Amino acid sequence: MEKVACCTRLLTVPLPQSDADELAARFKALADPARLRLLSLIAERGEVCACELVGPLGISQPTVSHHLRVLFEANLVERERRGRWIHYRVIDTTVDALREALTQTTV
């Protein structure tokens, strides 16, 4: 997926359709409690092995994997295979862009 356009703000200018589509897709990835919690665990540690994410939330491995995929495809996390293991990290720029989208002008 392509990156969110720099400095898109939804609260100050009428949002173009293309920006709305992209932002909505990202918010949709965040619109699930399990995914928020997974993202939180990843962000807290900086980098987490998938194996550490299966268990803490009390959901099945396929579900965890599915959620990680949603986060990955929304460009919210990056992943790196290390042998048998896959590590996940939060993509700060995407999160920053979402935060920016929620920002009002301060002028």
Partner DNA sequence: CACACATATCGACATATGTCAATATCATTC
Partner DNA sequence: GAATGATATTGACATATGTCGATATGTGTG
15 touching DNA, by CB under 7 A: no
- Judged by CB under 8 A, the stretch of 19-27, 47-55, 63-71, 78-86 that binds a second copy is 19-27
59 touching DNA, by CB under 7 A: yes
18 touching DNA, by CB under 7 A: no
- Judged by CB under 8 A, the stretch of 26-34, 47-55, 64-72, 78-86 that binds a second copy is 26-34
41 vs 54, beta carbon nearer a second copy: 41
Name residue, tokens 């994997």: 65
